[in-house]
Amino acid sequence: MKICVLVKEVPDAAVEKRIDPNTKRLDRSGEKNLNPFDTHAIEAAMQIKEGGTVDVSEIVAITMGPEGSERALHKAVSLGADRSIQLTDDALAGSDVCATGYALAKVLEAEQPDLVLLGQQSDDGECYAIGAVVADHLKMPSLTQVIEMETQPDKVVCRRQAEYGYDTVEVPLPAVISVGDAINEPRYPSLKAIMGAKKKPLDKKSAADVGIEPDKVGEQGSRTQVLAINPPPAKEPGEIIEDENTDETVEKIVAWLEERKLLA
Amino acid sequence: MSILTYALHFQGEFNKNSLGAISEAGKLAQQIGGEAAAIVVGGDDLTDDFCKSLGKYGASKVYRVKGPEGIAQPVVDAMAKVIQENGYKYALFGGGLLGFEIGAGLSARLGAGVTMEVTQVKVQDGKLVAVRPVLQDSALVDVGFAGEPGIIIGRLNAFEVTEAGGGDAEVIDVDVEFSEFSTKAQVVKRGERGDEGGVNIEDADILVAGGRGLGSAEAFKLCEDLAEVLGGAVAATRAVVDAGWYPYSAQIGQTGKTVSPKLYLAAGISGAIQHKVGMQNSENIVAINKDPNAPIFEFCDLGIVGDLHQILPKLTEAVKAKKGA
């Protein structure tokens, strides 16, 4: 079984995020981290490989992004992927969800995976949707927000929380599965794995390399337009207490609650 | 300029977020000179009367499709067909898991623009513009659509359910030939809820909610003790419910419950959007979290940066003492 994991780089949680008012795109200059949700997808792939029920021939990490986005791939291979592919092309800049999903599907078409895994959402654009977009292009069954997965040679049996409780769904392979963060606890890469990561093969591919039609990606391929960016309605900031002396802190909380008649 | 919505149903009832989407579509369609329609996919439980009832929320037509329930891809097939044959300009979804999946799949199928987490839809120059909060709600982006249709996926509870529509909707049966890959995934079990006992958190005036920061299932005892002295109930985030630390019936946000108590005390909860949508209308929000960068500190009324394992037991004692006095 060949598993492909889609990953991306996102801004570090500590970096102030902003939208560039000129390009109306997310300012990605502060980016340096693998999307935390993607580490769960890689861990899920590793657990299938180590689980022994199915024979995993390789795990391939794939990203789409500008120069520098290969850092996400280094992290992905240090967590266990065997090799990685970076789709990078100026023509892809400004792609929306639909265009990004199409571009990634073209990379996957060439790879012919049995299972595509991805994190349920990315930390920046909050688009949960990529998995479903990719699946439709690949004509594969798909499921998102999966929190338990039992892999068999010809199918994955998935559990997830939907509108009315937990559902169990059998998905025949090949398939596209987005995993939720409750599915596993991702491992930390060993120092040896981090050092070895740069030695694992990394293929750089352009849009033309994977047969992407230029008018379906980038700004011209995107069917949504950002018309305006506005600040949210102002909200009175809350009171913040740093707990230095817990007895005093608790006194303050109790006083605050009492003032609002919440201890009646 | 007509709008098609998807109406999710389960055990003889339509989903509240779906009804919200139909209500919203009804209002918007009037403004852009069109009508609102809904599509339903399922079995024999989709009776004429059940489908017609969507008229009172604003749907003038209901397309009824026989097909599997609980998975998105067959609905994508059905909606793509109805949109293409009838020229709908927009597809609108209420918040929830299936809407996200269907909307995304439909976007790929039709090469259509999609915007999700939408909190408001505006009309500008006779077209719909979706308002979407981004970057932890620190900015609102107005998104317009190039080409047709435009796909709008609402955030949970974004669209209010209103019975402003007319009489019965016209029910139209549609035969859909599903794609081979769309029907491959099979729902084996649907809607398992586990333990349904305990207090109904939607009725509680005071909620003490626990998140991943508690560190373990056992630490929920700290929340239970505090809730008891405050006279409230215990709620939980999706992360801890998925992890099996607390029952599903206590879950707030996204696919869980929506609450607006007088006091919402969040312990070890970061305040991700998926949780925020379920509790942001609480009258007073108190947050205890050791991470000063947690998003919940952006929208709480009182925030404590500190260790909940130290603070909660002392707070419980202090409240008990105060109430006993």
Q: What single string gives the DSSP state of each residue in B106-172?
A: HHHHHT-EEEEEE-EEEEETTEEEEEEEETTTTEEEEEEESSS-EEEEEPTT-S-------SPPEEE
CB pairs under 8 A between A and B: 280
Average pLDDT, chain B: 93
Report chain A residues whose CB lies below 8 A from the CB of B11.
164
**Taking 70 as the threshold, does the pLDDT of residue A95 lie above it?**
yes
Strand partners, B269: none
* B40 to A98, B2, B69, B76, B254: CA distances (angstroms): 25, 17, 10, 12, 22
Please check whether residue A87 lies inside any domain of the structure.
yes
Instruction: Tell me if A12 is assigned to some domain.
Output: yes
Element (H, E) at A148: strand A142-151
Write the CB contacts of B232 (distance below 8 Å, at least 6 apart in sequence). Answer: B204, B205, B206, B207, B208, B261, B263
Q: For residue B9, give the amino acid letter.
A: H
Using the predicted structure, report yes or no on whether residue A124 has a pLDDT greater than 60. no
pLDDT value of residue B49: 97
Between residues A126 and A160, the one the model is more confident about: A160
Cβ count within 10 A of residue A85: 24
Q: Give contacts of B 175-214 with A, CB under 8 A.
A: 179-182, 184-194, 206
- CA dist list (Å): A214 to A47, A92, A148, A188, B277: 37, 8, 38, 39, 38
Cα–Cα distance measured from residue A213 to residue B123, given in angstroms and rounded to the nearest whole number: 33
> Using one digit for the tens of pLDDT, what is the confidence trace for A52-63?
899 999 999 999
**Residue A233 lies inside a defined structural domain of this protein:** no
Q: What are the tens digits of pLDDT across the range A229-243?
A: 998 887 788 999 999
Average pLDDT of the residues of chain A: 90
| Rounded average pLDDT over A237-257 | 95
A160 and A150 Cβ atoms separated by less than 8 Å: no
Assess if residue A228 is contained within a domain. Answer: no
Structural domain harbouring A12: 2-221
User: What is the percent of chain A with per-residue pLDDT over 90, rounded to a whole number?
Assistant: 66
What are the chain A neighbours of B10 within 8 Å (beta carbons)?
Answer: 163-164
CB contact under 8 A, A256 and B179: no
State the pLDDT confidence band at A20, using cuts at 50, 70 and 90: confident
d(CA B8, CA B28): 20
Query: Domain holding A136: CATH number?
Result: 3.40.50.620
Place of tokens 């560190």: B215
Q: Please tell me the total count of domains within chain A.
A: 1
Q: Which of A84-98, A113-127, A138-152, B235-249 has the lowest mean pLDDT?
A: A113-127
- For the segment A154-162, the average pLDDT, to the nearest whole number, is 95
Q: Is the pLDDT of residue A3 over 70?
A: yes
Residue of chain B whose alpha carbon sits nearest to that of A14: B293
Do residue A142 and residue B147 have CB atoms under 8 angstroms apart? no
The secondary structure of residue B324, as a DSSP letter, is: H
Count, residues in chain B: 325
pLDDT of residue B198: 60
Contact: A128, B100; criterion CB under 8 Å: yes
* For residues A55-78, average pLDDT: 94
pLDDT number for residue A12: 65
- pLDDT confidence band for B305 (50 / 70 / 90): very high
Confidence of residue A168 (pLDDT cuts 50, 70, 90): very high
What pLDDT is stored for residue A123 in this prediction?
A: 52
Q: How far is A43 from chain B (nearest CA, A)?
A: 16
A182 contacts in chain B (CB < 8 Å): 238-239, 242-243
Q: Residues A77-87: what's their mean pLDDT?
A: 96
Judge whether residue A128 has pLDDT over 60: yes
Q: Report d(CA B46, CA A56) in Å as an integer.
A: 44
Asked if A203 contacts A83 with a C-beta cutoff of 8 angstroms, the reply is yes
How confident is the model at residue A15, as a pLDDT?
55
Q: Tell whether the model's pLDDT for residue B234 goes beyond 60.
A: yes
N-to-C CA span, chain A? 62
Query: Is residue A156 pLDDT above 80, yes or no?
Result: yes
Whether B144 has a pLDDT exceeding 70, the answer reads yes
Q: pLDDT by residue (tens digit) across B145-203? A: 998 999 999 998 899 999 987 889 999 999 999 999 999 999 999 988 876 556 678 88
Mean pLDDT of B88-98: 94
- pLDDT value at residue B122: 97
pLDDT > 90? residue B111: yes
Instruction: State pLDDT tens for residues B27-48.
Output: 999 999 999 999 999 999 999 9
Residue B73 has a pLDDT of 98
Tokens at A193, concatenated: 């794995």
| B264-280: pLDDT as tens digits | 999 999 998 889 989 99
Q: Are A206 and A89 in contact (CB under 8 A)?
A: yes
Structural domains of chain B sorted by starting position, each given as residue range(s) with its CATH number in brackets: 3-183 (3.40.50.620), 201-324 (3.40.50.1220)
Contacts of B109 in chain A (CB under 8 A): 136
Let me know if residue A35 belongs to a domain. Answer: yes
Task: Give percent of chain B above pLDDT 70.
Answer: 98
Q: Is residue A261 part of a domain?
A: no
**Cα radius of gyration (chain A):** 21
- Lowest-confidence range among B102-106, B138-142, B181-185? B138-142
Mean pLDDT of B286-299: 94
- Interchain proximity B104–A145, CB inside 8 Å: no
B138 interfaces chain A, CB cutoff of 8 Å: yes
Q: What is the pTM of this model?
A: 0.88
pLDDT for B256 equals: 79
Helix pair B97-110, A130-138: axis angle to 10 deg: 40
The answer to whether the CB of A235 falls within 8 A of the CB of B299 is yes
- For testing the chain A interface, which of B14, B77, B90, B100 should be mutated: the one with the most A CBs within 10 Å? B100
Specify the residue for token string 């929340």: B223
Terminal Cα-to-Cα distance of chain B (whole angstroms) = 65
- Residue A80 to chain B, least CA–CA distance (Å): 24
Q: Is residue A174 part of a domain?
A: yes
pLDDT band at residue A36 using 50, 70 and 90 as cut-offs: confident
Q: Report ipTM (2 d.p.).
A: 0.88
Interchain contact, B113 vs A224, CB within 8 Å: yes
Tell me whether residue A161 is in a domain. Answer: yes
